[in-house]
Chains A and B, each alone.
Chain A
Amino acid sequence: NAGVTQTPKFRILKIGQSMTLQCTQDMNHNYMYWYRQDPGMGLKLIYYSVGAGITDKGEVPNGYNVSRSTTEDFPLRLELAAPSQTSVYFCASSWEGITEAFFGQGTRLTVV
């Protein structure tokens, strides 16, 4: 059972480039989340989804987009990378939003 898998683990982007962070889960969870983690700031919710075809903004959505075409996958898209998007990104999933969330190993992104 792989749980939540994120790719890539590390990435360096130049300002203005775009990329997609991949996230897939094999637990048939309906809720999925994207967080960013910055030192001393905890985790901030970027976007979340309560099921296939349904997404909503979290606390810090600007500069990001998501889609949820299947239960398993929840990719995060950065269209025009900016230095402020340098962070560690975590994908997570949970059942119905009331049980614990399971986290991926994270993607460390640097924008230069």
Chain B
Amino acid sequence: AQSVTQLGSHVSVSEGALVLLRCNYSSSVPPYLFWYVQYPNQGLQLLLKYTTGATLVKGINGFEAEFKKSETSFHLTKPSAHMSDAAEYFCAVSEIAGSARQLTFGSGTQLTVLP
């Protein structure tokens, strides 16, 4: 069984500061990895994904994440936070479970951006 751990349920950064949201997964094989963002009262929107190939992936709105197999991590970063980045962020892994792939989510990290 796979699990996804997001360290820090709440993260606050100042506008213009580095954003770092942490995600670790447990899996016996390299999974497919995703970061989603959820704005208030909305559904989830894909930020970026890792399937195969380059371990540093770039997504929308200036976010990027690096897949580190040795650390089983997929941390999300953005060099300079903007007020519009305030939202909840979810890390997810897709792995074969039973007869099909399932998408398992972490518990989420609420990002607050301070002026």
Chain B associates with chain A: yes
Interface residues on B, range: 20 to 34
The residue of chain A having its C-beta at the shortest distance from the C-beta of B91 within the complex is A42
**Pair count A-B, CB < 8 A:** 63
Let me know if A31 and B100 touch, CB within 8 A: yes
- The yes or no answer to A8 lying at the interface (CB within 8 A) is no
Interface SS of chain B: helix, strand, loop or mixed?
strand
Q: What is the number of residues of chain A that contact chain B, defined by CB distance less than 8 Å?
A: 28
Q: Which residues of B contact A (CB under 8 A)?
A: 4, 9, 32, 34, 36, 41-46, 49, 51, 90, 94, 98-108
CB distance from A41 to the nearest CB of B (A): 6
Let me know if A45 and B108 touch, CB within 8 A: no
Find B32's partner among A4, A98, A105 (CB 8 Å cutoff).
A98
Let me know if A41 and B103 touch, CB within 8 A: no
